[in-house]
Amino acid sequence: MKVRDIMQTPVKTLREGTSLREAAGFFRRETVRGAQVVNEHGFSTGVFSYEELLKALAAGAELSDPISLHVRPMMCSVHPDTAVEELKRYGSSFLTVVDGAQILGGIDMMAVDDIIKGGRISSKIPAYAALQDLPEAAFLVDEDWIVRWFNATAAVSCTAETADVLGKPLSQVLTEAGFGIETEPLDSQSIIIAWRDETRFLPITWPASFPNGTSDRMVLLRNVQEEMLRARELTKLRSLSKELDAIIDSSFDGIFITDGKGRALRINRAYERITGIRAREVLGKTMSELVHEGFYDESVTMKVLQSRRIETIIQKVRDSKTIVVTGNPIFDDDGGIWRVVTNVRDVTELRRLQLELERLAELQNHYRRELDSLRRNINTSPEIIIRSKKMQEVHDQAMRLAQVDSSVLITGESGVGKEVVAGLIHANSHRHAGPFIKISCAAIPEQLLESELFGYKAGAFTGALRSGKQGVFETANGGTLFLDEIGEMPLALQAKLLRVLQERTIVQVGGVSETPIDVRIIAATNRDLEEMVQTRQFRSDLFYRLNVVPLFIPPLRERQDAVIDFIYHFLGRYNQKYGLNKQIEPEAMDLLITAQWPGNVRQLGNTMERLVVMAKGEVITRADVYKTMGTSDAAQTACQEPLSGTLRDAVERAEKQALALALRNNPGSRAAARALGVNQSTVVRKARRYGLHMHENSDAPTHQ
């Protein structure tokens, strides 16, 4: 028997815009399992069969979707003279019969199955006994969809007696069995799709031919729920895979993935860009093979497989580019290495940027030196040098204090510029037109300090002027009085000073009447007044009266970046003072900058004056600095020769020297600890260790 003997003629066709619902109804009405799909011009674009309908519904398609989304573009075709027995090898549910370029008809493979099994089905119902064992529910319906026969699976699905099924429309039988069904709009009996308990069934219909010419149909209810779930899961997995691929390929760093045997599985575009190695060159090969072929000099993946931990190496690829490679093992549930994910970063650009930053930093230093050289000629006598952040804070605080009349206590080591800051506050205050009187409480003998402060009447004591004398409080009336070294004031006089601050009046020595005064007090000390209060060397009530607004000036060692400004400042000052034009070479400048300057700005100024005066040439050289600083404390730290002995001995000698210097230049262990950046207990402990102690009164260190 040939194909031309059983083929469907003429060939049935569907339009591209036909919906899935309309196609299913077409298959049932025409008793066919497939049709050609034509476009608006009548040209064939493919085939749509029950097979495509099943796949579409399993994938979650809507019945209103057009079949053009699911058409099989490559048609399976046979010649009309092909033997029917050979059709099985084509593996398709619907075949097109083609002779040359002409389409003659179509072949429904379900009908072919009937023919191959032994001819056309007879009119006797028992002939369907072969369908009894099918796992799918099968019904035989007539042209009005009335059930004439059903198999055992259908009986179980309907859970009804034979008499309750036969002779009823199939849609009614299924509805009574708990199925939800959807029928064609124009045919209340024809079933499009059915479902029960969230399980979807696809009715598959094919003609059952009888000798009497009846048009009965066989209907199978195929469970497509698993196919739908698999299709949806497959769609989900494909979407996830697409998302992961997009993430990996969008990474700026290179990514190289191998399996647990070190075989390359995938690389991203960034890896190809960084290394110049293409995916086609390495995928499918093991890392040992790639190293042997010269793609890499070593493999971080092989190290990870051996150590079973994260590994990082600097790797060279075949074009001599250097990259940083980090391999990360990913383990399976059994603890074995399942994948090795390698991250690749090109450090060439980072290294270039680092070198560029270093070059710019060097250029910045060069320009700063040039600007500093110009600055010394433009401004040779600034009131205060501001370069460091700490001094900027001091300056800002001083300017704020200038706007009020509160008492100010300025603290800091000797030589840091406390008097300069006090003058700055006065010059920017509303008292700037008044006098700015300075007096050192440590420079005047205790017996004369009271009369210097408050004045005296004629004949107040032996040697007193007959006319008497005004004190500095009266002299500073309407202005500012700067009391330097306030920590050296005797206790008895501290009580009188406290009364002046409270009452704003003074009584001259030998006098009885009070004189009102209008004076702002700015006090300064290099001693630790808090510690002196605890040891009863300073009155607590006077301390709190003076310490309304504290202002601490950091030592020069904590604002090292300002040294160069001071150097040029003093160089310009003493050149002008002595009528000289000395310059300073960079090596000498570097030596001065790196010195410790325990005497702070005052010591630096004295050193610069000696250099300007004593330097023989017009340029101050490194040798001049060594010679001038040979006996100074700064030279002991910046210019001394290497010490002999072990490293531990050298460290101890340096520590002892620094501790002695801090105790000598700071008024007490607290101030020394603050200067050294350590705790007070550390200063006390190490002072005992090195044989250093402080006198009870002077708090000055000596060697035991």
- What is the four-CA torsion angle of 691, 692, 694, 695, rounded to 10 degrees? 60
The pair of three-digit structure tokens given for residue 670, joined into one six-digit string: 């607290």
- Residue 102's pLDDT is 63
Q: Which of 119-123, 196-200, 223-227, 453-457 has the highest mean pLDDT?
A: 453-457
Dig out the tokens for 204 from the structure. 């598959």
Amino acid letter for position 413? E
Instruction: Flag whether pLDDT at 159 surpasses 80.
Output: no
Domain boundaries, the chain: 3-116, 125-229, 251-346, 349-378, 389-554, 557-637, 647-703
Fold of 125-229: Beta-Lactamase (3.30.450)
Class of domain 647-703: mainly alpha
Shortest CA distance to 67 belongs to which of 7, 109, 26, 106? 26
CA distances from 436 to 425, 473, 479 (A): 10, 11, 6
- Answer yes or no: is pLDDT of 93 > 70: no
Which pLDDT belongs to residue 524? 93
Region of poorest pLDDT, from 149-163, 364-378, 579-593: 364-378
- Burial of residue 359, with CB atoms counted within 10 A of its CB: 0-12 exposed, 13-18 middle, 19 or more buried: exposed
Kindly give the interhelix angle for 669-676 and 680-689, rounded to the nearest 10 degrees. Answer: 100
CATH class of 389-554: alpha beta
b/e burial code for range 660-693 (CB count within 10 A of at least 16 → b) = bbbbbbbbbbbbbbbbbeeebeebbebbeebebe
Q: Alpha helices, DSSP H only, in 491-632?
A: 491-503, 529-534, 540-546, 563-578, 586-594, 600-614, 622-628
- Look-up of token digits 């991203």: 268
Which of 56-65, 182-191, 492-501 has the highest mean predicted lDDT (pLDDT)? 492-501
- Pairwise pLDDT comparison (697 vs 108), residue with the higher score: 108
CATH fold for the domain made of 251-346: Beta-Lactamase (3.30.450)
pLDDT at 349 over 80: no
Q: Which of 204, 197, 158 is nearest to 57 (CA)?
A: 204
For residue 500, report the phi and psi dihedrals to the nearest 5 degrees. Answer: -65, -45
The pTM of this model reads 0.40
pLDDT of residue 426: 92
What's 3-116's CATH class? Answer: alpha beta
| 437: number of Cβ within 10 Å | 19
Q: Which helix (H) or strand (E) holds 316?
A: strand 311-316
Cα 596 to Cα 94: distance, rounded to the nearest angstrom = 98
Q: Cα–Cα–Cα angle for 678, 683, 687, nearest 5°? A: 155
Note the pLDDT of residue 390: 80
Mean residue pLDDT across the chain: 78
The 10s digit of each residue's pLDDT in 419-449 is 889 998 998 899 989 999 998 888 888 778 8
CATH code given to domain 557-637: 1.10.8.60
The token pair that represents 43 in the structure block: 């040209």
Structure tokens at 437: 């009187």
Tokens of 124: 């006797």
Look up residue 352 and give its amino acid. Answer: R
Q: Are strands 254-259 and 264-267 parallel, antiparallel or unpaired?
A: antiparallel
Asked whether the domain spanning 389-554 has the same topology as the one spanning 125-229, the reply is no
